[in-house]
Amino acid sequence: MKLLLCLALVMLINPVLLHATASLVPLTEARLWQRAEWRIDGAPSTANNFDPDLIRIDATFSAPSGKQMTVPAFWYQNFTRALVDGAQVLTPAGTPEWRIRFTPDETGEYQLSVSLTASGQPAIPPIAAKFNVAASAPATPSGWIRTSTDHRSFALSDGRPLRLIGANVCWGARTRGTYDFDQWFPAMRDAGENFARLWFSPWSMGLEHKPGTLNRYDLAEAWHADYVLQLAEQCGINVLIAMDHHGMFMSNDPAWGGANNYWLKSSPYAVENGGPCANANEFFSRDDARKIYQKRLRYLVGRYGYSPRLLSWQFFNEIDNSYQPRAALVGMDVVAWHRVMGQWLRANDPYHHLISTSLTGASDRPEYWTMPEMDFAVYHSYGEADPSRHVAKLSADFVQRYHKPIMIGEFGTDFRSWAIANDPYLRGFRQGLWGGVLGGSVGTSMSWWWEGLHDDQVYPFYTVLHDIMARAGWNEGAWTPATFVENSPVPTELGDAIVNGEPFNATIPLNQLRLNPVSGAMAITDPLAADRAAERISSYLHGTKNPQLQQHGRFTAWFADHARLIFRVNSVAADADLLVRIDDVEKLRVPLVNKDGIAALNDEINQEFTVDLPAGQHRIEITHTGTDWVNLKSVRFERVRPASFVGGWQFATEAIGLRNGPSAVVYVRSPHIAWPAGALRYNPPVVHGATITLTHWSPGPSKVTWLETKTGHEITTATLTTKDENLTLLIPDFAEDAVAIVTK
């Protein structure tokens, strides 16, 4: 049905403006849950059509139910694109014009009223129109994305659950632009993915991210974002838009080795680039800077807010990277800024899209997540050991403390690169995916390395996960974490040495993320215990500045004759005396000097140290006296005697899972591949006869189907009967991981 417009020009009191008219030109048909768009002809021109203080056009839609929504019009330029010598070239097509976008969520007759003011005064008579909204053909059921009533996940406005499978896809290659998304989004759709995170940045889709764009937005980049969002809609992908990244507020930050210096070279808010702010901190504290930013938010709402596929506005990527100096006062300015801008969006986004932000990896800051303006919490997970269980515990903790959904917004086994050489069989990657889904977050852990995912064709892992979870009914009902009878925590004390046991060399994998709060103590009983050291030992030994984080590495082991400790120091953040103690007796003290004066990981020390170890059982401690961190590049013990843990404790198969009434989905992984343990081992040991026990399960028969995580193939199906509230599942022989669907 064609859109019918009836223009009713209403006379204004000011007779000077009576001759001024404007008209609406429909560009699309109005259909349920599909974008309707109009062009406005005849609007007066101003010195800056992006500035609502100079010209402001608002469109108020009255739905058949009586509900009203007011959306801002936006200044638009069409473009054509071409790929020239492998690079995207955008060419203006036609002349700039005003546009209105709106998505109707009811069928029937709508009333539309468009008002225009110039410098705060009415500039034309209001434009009134009527149009009819027909049902989509074919029907396209949809809804606005909200948080679920149980505060654990997302749902559509009609109550249907929305579970997310996806990844960061923040920008195309800096030359190919939209052409990369032409490949990525269809491939993601075909793999069963339905989520992508986008960045607005100086190199991609940045509207106000270059000198000269302060409240004068880059229309080519805005069109670029149009294209990507519309492609996401076609592919059924929900997007989160990160509106700024931390580098926009950094200038020669020593913690980054001077990298990410976009404040001076790119930010239009910087005084050096014609903006109002003498430094990045003033972006958050100055009223005039806040008001300018709110004008950008208004433009984004008008141009992109129409989309039901817009899951959330995200103010920043890892904004706590940008505090300069890193002080509590500046941090509170940023928190206050989030509160003000969150309230502004609440009041001015008629679609009520979700709002969030993000922080550095392993960072949990209650001052953000307790804020009512933040609809859900976000956590970035990099290099964290045993990712499936780690993410599950973290998700449960966030939901319990903040009563909000938690998204694992970035994930990687390494924060520096895709690093597939360190995870060649993608065991850590797979554990992260399943840990996000079955750990109680809003979906998969969202991998950061999207180009690596595409180049190495990792999509089948997503397809398998999607199909298994669809088979289990994940997209229906309310799922909560399942509970299990768990192994007790790994002891840090040893039992007896194994008589005639062959000594072995133990290379200690180290947790690479600086803020990971690991215990810093472990017992080395055998090669498996050594392999799993990253769950307890960090490469960062923190100083008195961060007493809540690991300040030492403590190792207990039995040693044979001629045993040695060999370790290498990478860098230091401050001068320190390095210490090695054996049973609390100091055996080594070496001064370490922060030669470059910055807190950067750059091999400035790069020195190896060796300490002879006496035979017998001993506790070895590596620590230091400094105020800030010392980074260990490697740790190795030679001639360790195999031993038992105290009480005969052993590593066991561990499980995470979700349940929905009489159904559950359970993910298990072998103790030999709790990443990074066993990451490089081609054939890990086969686990025979392992069991896990679901608790709080109702008595009676249950059907248990075990599936392979790499192929989705069914392994076994059995019926089990329990007479109490514990259901023990026998796991078929497996070497890596497996998934079970359990139904009454």
Which range of 15-24, 135-144, 487-496 scores highest in mean pLDDT? It is 487-496
Question: Do 544 and 427 belong to one domain?
Answer: no
Q: Confirm whether 4 is domain-assigned.
A: no
Question: Do 193 and 129 belong to one domain?
Answer: no
The domain that holds 121 is classified in CATH as 2.60.40.10
Structural domain of residue 86, as residue ranges? 15-133
Q: Confirm whether 8 is domain-assigned.
A: no
For residue 113, the model assigns a pLDDT of 96
For residue 231, the model assigns a pLDDT of 98
Kindly state the average pLDDT of the residues 24-29. 95
Q: Confirm whether 736 is domain-assigned.
A: yes
For residue 13, the model assigns a pLDDT of 26
User: Per residue, what are the HEC states of 325-364?
Assistant: CCCHHHHHHHHHHHHHHHHHHHHHCCCCCEEECCCCCCCC
| Residue 1 binned pLDDT confidence (cut-offs 50, 70, 90) | very low
Place of tokens 């070497």: 735
Question: Do 59 and 195 belong to one domain?
Answer: no
| Residue 517 binned pLDDT confidence (cut-offs 50, 70, 90) | confident
Q: Are 62 and 104 in contact (CB under 8 A)?
A: no
State the total domains in the chain.
Answer: 4
Place of tokens 């400094």: 626
For residue 153, the model assigns a pLDDT of 96
Kindly state the average pLDDT of the residues 539-556. 91
Which of 582, 614, 648 finishes a domain? 648
Q: At what angle do helices 328-348 and 287-304 cross, to 10 degrees?
A: 40
Quick check: 212 pLDDT over 90? yes
Quick check: 646 pLDDT over 90? yes
- Measured CA to CA, the distance from residue 282 to residue 290 in angstroms comes to 10
Question: Do 298 and 422 belong to one domain?
Answer: yes
Give pLDDT tens digits for 571-587.
999 999 999 999 999 99
Question: Do 666 and 569 belong to one domain?
Answer: no
Question: Do 522 and 613 belong to one domain?
Answer: yes
Give pLDDT tens digits for 105-131.
999 999 999 999 998 888 888 999 999
pTM of the model: 0.93
Question: Do 611 and 632 belong to one domain?
Answer: yes
Which of 594, 625, 648 finishes a domain? 648
The domain that holds 244 is classified in CATH as 3.20.20.80
| Residue 102 binned pLDDT confidence (cut-offs 50, 70, 90) | very high
Give pLDDT tens digits for 152-174.
999 999 889 999 999 999 999 87
- Measured CA to CA, the distance from residue 435 to residue 408 in angstroms comes to 10
- Measured CA to CA, the distance from residue 410 to residue 433 in angstroms comes to 11
Question: Do 640 and 664 belong to one domain?
Answer: no
Question: Do 712 and 731 belong to one domain?
Answer: yes
The domain that holds 707 is classified in CATH as 2.60.40.1180
Quick check: 19 pLDDT over 50? no
DSSP 53-103: TTEEEEEEEE-TTS-EEEEE-EEEEEEEEEEETTEEEEEEEEEEEEEEEE-
Question: Do 512 and 571 belong to one domain?
Answer: yes
Q: Confirm whether 359 is domain-assigned.
A: yes
Write the CA distances from 588 to 578, 584, 624, integer angstroms.
8, 12, 11
| Residue 2 binned pLDDT confidence (cut-offs 50, 70, 90) | very low
Question: Do 186 and 281 belong to one domain?
Answer: yes
Kindly state the average pLDDT of the residues 512-532. 92
Q: Confirm whether 482 is domain-assigned.
A: no
Kindly state the average pLDDT of the residues 668-684. 95
Q: Confirm whether 264 is domain-assigned.
A: yes
Which of 630, 648, 666 finishes a domain? 648
For residue 256, the model assigns a pLDDT of 67
Place of tokens 């030109």: 25
Q: Which of 214-218, 301-305, 677-681 has the lowest mean pLDDT?
A: 677-681
Q: Confirm whether 29 is domain-assigned.
A: yes
For residue 54, the model assigns a pLDDT of 97
The domain that holds 577 is classified in CATH as 2.60.120.260
Kindly state the average pLDDT of the residues 543-554. 89
Give pLDDT tens digits for 322-375.
876 556 656 889 999 999 999 999 999 999 999 999 998 888 899 999 999 999
Give pLDDT tens digits for 695-743.
999 999 999 999 999 999 999 999 999 889 999 999 999 999 999 999 9
Q: Which of 239-248, 401-410, 543-552, 711-720 has the lowest mean pLDDT?
A: 543-552
Q: Confirm whether 140 is domain-assigned.
A: no
Question: Do 513 and 468 belong to one domain?
Answer: no
